Amino acid sequence: MTVKVAVTGFGGRMGRALAEALKQAGEAGKAELSAAIVRPGSSLVGADAGEVAGIGRNGVAIVDSLENADFDVLIDFTAPQASIDNAAYCAQHGKAIVVGTTGFTPEQKAAMLSSADKAPLCFASNFSTGVNLCFNLLETAARVLGDDVDIEIVEAHHRHKLDAPSGTALSMGEVVADTLGRDLAKVAVYGREGQTGARERETIGFATVRGGDVVGEHTVTFFADGERVEITHKASSRLAFARGAVRAAVWLNGRAAGHYDMRDVLALK
C-alpha cells in the first residue's frame, strides 16, 4: 500500500527536500505526497506543489491548513509551537505524525509528546540514518572509554539555523551522559570564555559554529592521554534527513499510539 504523506512547512528548504524524497519513494511504490501545507496567507496557496519544489507538476495543490489535507501520516519540520499544534491535531483525528523540529523547551517537548497517548508519533532530533548509527557508536565508545576521557561535542550549521546547540548535538550529549550515568543538565558546558580553570572530568563540552550553507556537521571527541577517538557525521544534502523522515513515515503508518524515534525505525535499539 502506498502511504499518503502530507508535508507541513512546505515552502521551506526541508519541505522541498521532502518533496524530492517522496517523489523517489513514489517511484518505489512506498509513499506519495498527498498534501502540501503552508501558513495561512502564503502566496504559495493554490500553486502546484511539484512545481514549487522543482520536481515537476504533480497535481497536488498547496493548501493552508491541515483541515484541507488528505493524509495517512504528517511530516513536520517547522517550529516548536506549530509542531505542538499539529501533533495535537493528529492525535485528535487518529493520524500519525513524524516530527523533526528542534529547539523545544522541556515544557514544549512534554506538551508535544503527550499527543503520543492517542496516536503514533515519531520524534527525533535527526532523521539521518548515519546520525542514528552514530548514536549507537557513541554508546559503545562511552561504555568502553568510561570516565577516563574528556568529552567534547562540536557542531556546525548554516547561518539560518535558529537554535544552538543543535538538537542533534544535544541528543549526542544525552546518549553519552546516559551511558555514563550522568545528568546532562548538570554536566553540560556551553562554550568557554575567560579564566575557566582546569577542566572537570565529568563535564561534556559543546561548541557551536554557524555560517554559510553548512547542512550539518557533528563531531564527538573522546580525549584520553596519548590518544583520542572522534566520531563524526557530515551531511552534504538535506535529502539525507528527508529520506529518513519518509522512511519513518512509511514505518509509522498503522502503528499503535505511542512515542517512537528513528532508532525504532532502524531497529537499532
Burial class (CB in 10 A: 0-12, 13-18, 19+), 184: middle
3-state secondary structure of 209: strand
Catalytic residue among 95, 157, 218, 233: 157
Let me know if 161 is a catalytic residue. Answer: yes
- What sign does the dihedral 235-42-122-20 (CA atoms) show? negative
3-state secondary structure of 180: helix
Residue 84's SS3 state is helix
- Cα separation, 269 vs 263, in Å, equals 6
**Measured in Å, how far apart are the chain's first and last C-alpha atoms?**
27
Question: Active site includes 233?
Answer: no
Sign, Cα dihedral of 47, 49, 50, 54: positive
Do you find a cis peptide bond into 165, omega within 30 degrees of 0?
Answer: yes
DSSP-based three-state secondary structure for 227: strand
* Identity at 114, one-letter amino acid code: S
- The candidate with the shortest Cα–Cα distance to 125, out of 3, 11, 208, 244, is 244
Residues found in the chain? 269
- How far is it, in rounded angstroms, from Cα 91 to Cα 107? 18
| Active site (catalytic) residues | 157, 161
